[in-house]
Amino acid sequence: MPASPTRRLRDAAASLTLVGLTALSACTGPTVHSLAAPVVAEHAMANEGPDPVHSLPDLLPGMPAPLDPLDLYAADRPGGLAPFLANVTARVWVPNSNGHTLSEIDPTTFRVIRTIDVGLNPQHVVPSWDLRTLWVNNDKGNSLTPISAITGQVGAPIAVHDPYNLYFSPNGRSAIVMASKDRQIVFRDPHSMAVQKALDVPCDGVNHADFSPDGKYMIVTCEFTSELLKVDVEHMTLLGTLPLPGGMPQDIKISPDGSTWYVADMHRNGLYVLNGDAFKLTGFIPTGKGTHGLYISRDSKTMYITNRDEGSISTFDFATGELTNKWRLPGGGSPDMGGLSVDGKELWLAGRYNRVVYVVDTQTGKLLHKIPVGSGPHGLCVWPQPGRYSLGHTGILR
């Protein structure tokens, strides 16, 4: 039997000398882009010798080669900021979906320092592929509000229909809008947001996604009809669907070694385990009521799992494939979406139904801070983040 695409990629990569940081981390400094009229960023590699992308023919064309064939998150270590982000003032950006505002938090004082009016029903704050723009997804406002990821300057919104969530192809050539109500996945220019292709999908509630190690396909969750979609990224076509009876799939993450996918399900209260290449379920792990968000530790060893409907966070060990802890928020709560601090010592989460943001110690599970924000806080983004490029959502960097 021929090897799977994931296995071929890992075997090919393992035969190479591991490459250093590529395109973004090799930049000598920021290029100033107009927020109102973004321009195409520099995607060329800055390595000497043969381009590692072309040394691995199984990769999506133009995609940066993995730093470590056995760890997709190897670029996400605490010291791994792109040089042009090294002096950026740390901020946490919180979209308040019901209040139509954005809260800007200083993570050193744990206080809201600015509240910004944005479009109707903002859902997520998403770093661009080139790490230079943070996009506020104004779902019902049918727009994206750009914020400079370097200066924090807020730009003029760009008209984009139904942008519930936003991702980027691993080669940076497409922004991928999850148009939940439109029943579409819309591929767009990553800067101007002009439509490249609108892919109609046979499900309701396209929402979260993650990408294969070679970048050639992504798996997308459909929360309202309980399905998964497998999508060809390069050709922008639907490869298949997989029903999840009785479920409500939310966030999805691939394991560091690229062999296994995990799908959070709010109705089933746990994680589906998936073989992405075969597109088949291989197991299920109960975690807690209302399983929702998935976040990878800075050392790639642990996954933090938010159980929104019981106010808890479960921890999962990739090496053993087992749950290791369950941390309960004092007094309960609704931990939803968020991200890790640069050093990985804090997990920041929106309290979706409690008008707060939680800050949790990732070693002890202790609640460090509870910060009041607006109504309906959702997909917050901790910024900056280590990594070479962004795949979207609240900060999936590789």
In tens digits, the chain (398 residues) has pLDDT values of 445 555 555 554 444 433 333 333 333 333 323 333 333 333 333 333 334 333 455 999 999 999 998 999 999 999 899 999 999 999 999 999 999 999 999 999 999 999 999 999 999 999 999 999 999 999 999 999 999 999 999 999 999 999 999 999 999 999 999 999 999 999 999 999 999 999 999 999 999 999 999 999 999 999 999 999 999 999 999 999 999 989 999 999 999 999 999 999 999 999 999 999 999 999 999 999 999 999 999 999 999 999 999 999 999 999 999 999 999 999 999 999 999 999 999 999 999 999 999 999 999 999 999 999 999 999 999 999 999 999 999 999 99
For 134, 166, 319, the CA distances from 124, given in Å and listed in that order, are 10, 8, 31
Helix (H, G, I), strand (E, B) or coil at 252: strand
Alpha helices in 235-351, H assignment, sequence order: none
Is 315 within 8 Å of 323 (Cβ atoms)? yes
Contact 355, 311 (CB under 8 A): no
Distances (CA, A) of 282 to 71, 147, 257, 271, 392: 21, 41, 17, 11, 27
CA–CA separation, 128 vs 140, rounded Å? 21
Contact call for residues 77 and 67 (beta carbons, < 8 A): no
Reduced to 3 states, what is the DSSP secondary structure of residue 294?
strand
Rg (CA), the chain: 19
CA distance 106 to 29: 24
Determine the Cα–Cα distance for residues 212 and 77; give it in Å rounded to an integer.
20
Give the C-alpha separation, 311 to 300, whole Å.
24
Measured distance CA(130)–CA(31) in Å, rounded: 11
pLDDT of residue 9: 52
Closest CA to 290 of 348, 247, 349, 347: 247
Contact criterion met (CB below 8 Å) for 316 and 323: yes
d(CA 294, CA 97): 20
What is the pTM (predicted TM-score) of this model?
0.87
pLDDT at 51: 40
Q: Are 98 and 122 in contact (CB under 8 A)?
A: no
pLDDT at site 4: 57
C-alpha 80/C-alpha 221 separation (Å) is 29
Tell me the CA distances in angstroms from 255 to 96, 161, 277, 303, one per residue in order. Answer: 30, 32, 13, 9
What are the DSSP E strand ranges found in 48-164?
91-96, 101-106, 111-117, 122-127, 133-138, 143-148, 158-159
Rounded to whole angstroms, what are the CA distances from 225 to 119, 249, 288, 326?
27, 9, 21, 29
CB-based contacts of 115, cutoff 8 Å, min separation 6:
101, 102, 103, 104, 374
Residue 109, Cβ neighbours under 10 Å: how many? 9
- How far, in Å, are 74, 226, 294, 394 from residue 297 at the CA level? 11, 28, 10, 15
Helices (H) and strands (E) in the chain, counts: 2, 28
Cα dihedral sign for 152, 153, 154, 156?
negative
- Cα separation of 230 and 194, whole Å? 24
User: CB-side exposure of 206: number of CA atoms within 13 Å?
Assistant: 31
Q: Checking DSSP bridges between strand 249-254 and strand 312-317, what pairing results, if any?
A: unpaired
Distance CA 126, CA 96 (A): 14
Neighbours of 34 (CB within 10 A): 12
Q: Which two tokens stand for residue 94?
A: 């919180």
